[in-house]
Amino acid sequence: MEANKWVILIGVDFYINGNSRQGISFHKLNGCVEDVHQVEELLRTSFEVRDPFIYRLTATSPGGNQNEPQEHPSQWPTYENIVGTFQTVTENAKAEDLVYIHYSGHGARVKTIFHEDLKPGGIDEALVPTNICSGGRYIRDVEIAYLLERMADKGLIVTLVLDCCHSGGANRGPSSLVRGIERVDTTKLESDTSPLASLEELNAAWGNSRAGGGRTVRVENHWLLETRRYTFIAACRANEYAAEHTFDGKVQGLFTRAMIDTLKASCSPSQLTYYELWNFVAIKVREHNKEQNAILGGEADRLFFKSERRELFYVVPITKVVETDEGTEVQMNVGAAQGICEGTGIDVWSSPCFDFEPSERLALLRVVGVEDSTLKAKIAEHYGDPKRPLECGFLARPHVVPQMAVQLVHPEPLSPYQEAVIKAREALNEDKIPLSDHVPNISFRVHVKDGNYVILNSRDQQLRNPIPPLAINSKHAAKKLARRIIHLTKYYNILNLSNAERGTHDKWLTVSLKKKHHSFPLEPKLAKDVPHSTTFLSSKTCETTSGEWLLLKVKNTSGNGLFIAIMDLDRSWAISQIYPYAPGVIYQPLAPDEILYLPLRLNVSDGAVGVVDTIKIFVTTDPTSFRWLEIPELVKVDLDLDKGISRPARGDGIEPTNALEVLQKSMMLPALRKIFLSVYIPTKWDTVACTVIRAKPDI
């Protein structure tokens, strides 16, 4: 049976005047009702949504001195009507039905009505009904989580879109254009209770929405982002405001308009994943307002308003395209912190793109300017006939030159393995991996022993993690050897990457990794520390046993806002982002004196002892992505070749011309030797590493 598409549209322009909440008032807005009208039109025309599956709750500003919305009270966005609509859809929809919820209006932060165990910070984030100042209730984050969990429990596929502010800090810009208020509402009325469910049921729903699965963690200080049971897109981060602008003579929410324009402009909007949609929308929003950053969480790998999913490729979106007298200039929000230097090549595909085949590339760019987390590039080659102009939101994949010194050691006697040595040399040359017999330049030594290719370090010692045997007579053996060298190189250089000129990282972060005891939090959380206090000592090495829980604590001691991403470099030679975890979420803002508590669990199946994992924290002063540095397990290199997956693109041998470029290039060299740089390097990024050591079991 075909899935039904249910839509809940809530737009609140008018807030009824009243004095039930002393000192609190919400100014009227101008574009919220228009938002939901246009969203409805889009869903009807492009996504085949039909009555009776559309529910509208709107509050249009009345004329004159009237103090009620124009709509009939049964259509007002009050607490009772909004909650009732959620419950009606949940009751009538069947498993696998699709539900789209769009809220445009004020958001607020209010004193919690829940127990301290549920809300230790004492604050609820809330949606604001039209009658909030005349006896109405806020719709609080815990209640929204409960309503969404009930939908997910029934097997509904849910999207929640919020075009509102969620912060007491939402006080920048003209107040008439901001969807939020400056202060936290500390009033607590007798009616401020939740009639939805028992405290136990609300607590369970809140825990489910926050915990997700696996290593999913809370991000952005927003609720609902980390869940894997629905998709969540919001107009701005917690410390920002959601703005309204005038478009074609009509006021709308900037975020909603950007989303509508993106879907209308796409040749196949139903094939966009939420991650791709968010990339486009975030760029459009920032073009109008650099202080507003759209955020994404949950099932970002799902297609927009569909049940299907698609694997996410973490590539870099083009953020700006400028036509100059010298040609097309492209800008992106990645740079030195990701190992990019002037001259780096960048491949470009249109969006959506499903498999990023080289034959589908639109252009090859060449970087002409790089900062810590931004770059500018020019078109080096433009493919296709006719050549398609590049646009904001198109997807790019930077690549750097694989400069890795390898010594191919001839076995004694040579004759039984001569063919294997020749094939290895050809494969290494094909991938432009330099061969050397000069010991100081060597990063890896490759031996042929007992019918296998064996990779050791420059001192003929085992590498830090085990490497599966590679038989010289296996399919694509020599090519697999070269791919393994490239993979290991990336791993080692991300492991060793740091900003040598930044100085001690403790000026920015205090980091501790310890065994988790009973008083530590049971799930990841963010908490504000007392300003300038020292709550824990830095500790970056922890000895543990398989199955034990650890707690990673990261405190921002810089006095300024920072952005972090945490990568796990594990024993399988994989590098993956473990925080923020949710698909499509690329960084976590960390406010001054804010602490991240991240529980981790070590699982070593092969009984290894010694260093088994490195947890690497990337920190920047500007939002940027490190997701595209992720690499799979080493065994996948072999599997890809067996499946005929094409070889990754190569660079063109560009040599570094300054100290920063030396650092970028060093990312592609296994840093088994220390690299010293003597001139200035930008200092707006750094890394911190923690080591997990598995102790020897007691005998």
DSSP codes joined into one string, 313-354: ---EEEEEEEEETTEEEEEES--GGGT--TT-EEEEE-SS-S
pLDDT at 611: 67
Structure tokens at 454: 């064996």
Q: How far apart are CA 323 and CA 326, in angstroms?
A: 8
Q: How far apart are CA 508 and CA 558, in angstroms?
A: 4
**Which tens digits make up the pLDDT trace of 641-670?**
888 865 443 333 334 333 333 333 333 333
pLDDT at 228: 58
pLDDT at 667: 38
- Report residue 632 CA to chain centroid gap: 17
Looking at per-residue pLDDT, the higher value among 183 and 432 belongs to: 432
Closest CA to 479 of 442, 453, 457, 443: 453
pTM assigned to the model: 0.70
- Name the residue type at position 509: L
**Which tens digits make up the pLDDT trace of 270-294?**
889 998 899 889 889 988 888 888 8
Q: How far apart are CA 341 and CA 669, in angstroms?
A: 15
pLDDT at 518: 62
Q: Classify residue 38 by burial, with Cβ atoms within 10 Å: 0-12, 13-18, 19+.
A: buried
Q: What is the 3-state secondary structure (H, E, C) of 652-666?
A: CCCCCCCHHHHHHHH
Looking at per-residue pLDDT, the higher value among 502 and 382 belongs to: 382
Q: How far apart are CA 484 and CA 494, in angstroms?
A: 16
Contacts of 189 (CB under 8 A, 6+ apart): 20, 21
pLDDT at 371: 87
Query: What φ, ψ does residue 517 adopt, rounded to 5°?
Result: -110, 180
CA 637-642-647 angle, 5° bins: 55
Q: How far apart are CA 130 and CA 76, in angstroms?
A: 7
Task: With H, G, I as helix, E, B as strand and everything else as coil, classify residue 564.
Answer: strand
Percent of the chain scoring above 70 in pLDDT:
81
* DSSP character at residue 12: E
Task: With H, G, I as helix, E, B as strand and everything else as coil, classify residue 145.
Answer: helix
Percent of the chain scoring above 90 in pLDDT:
39
Task: With H, G, I as helix, E, B as strand and everything else as coil, classify residue 73.
Answer: helix
Task: With H, G, I as helix, E, B as strand and everything else as coil, classify residue 499.
Answer: coil
Tell me what percent of the chain is helix, strand and coil, each rounded to the nearest 5: 25, 30, 50
Q: How far apart are CA 576 and CA 569, in angstroms?
A: 7
Lowest-pLDDT choice from 77-81, 153-157, 213-217, 451-455: 213-217
The continuous run of DSSP H or E covering 282 comes out as helix 274-288
Q: State the pairing for strand pair 549-556/509-515.
A: antiparallel
Q: What is the 3-state secondary structure (H, E, C) of 393-440?
A: CCEEEEECCCCCCEEECCCCCCHHHHHHHHHHHHHHHHCCCCECCCHH
Given a contact cutoff of 8 angstroms between Cβ atoms, the answer to whether 608 and 617 are in contact is no
Given a contact cutoff of 8 angstroms between Cβ atoms, the answer to whether 226 and 9 are in contact is no
The continuous run of DSSP H or E covering 257 comes out as helix 254-265
Q: Is pLDDT at 253 greater than 80 in this prediction? A: yes
Domains of the chain plus CATH, in order, are: 5-298 (3.40.50.1460), 316-399 (2.40.30.230), 406-496 (no CATH), 505-622+684-694 (2.60.40)
Segment 494-517 shows an average pLDDT of: 73
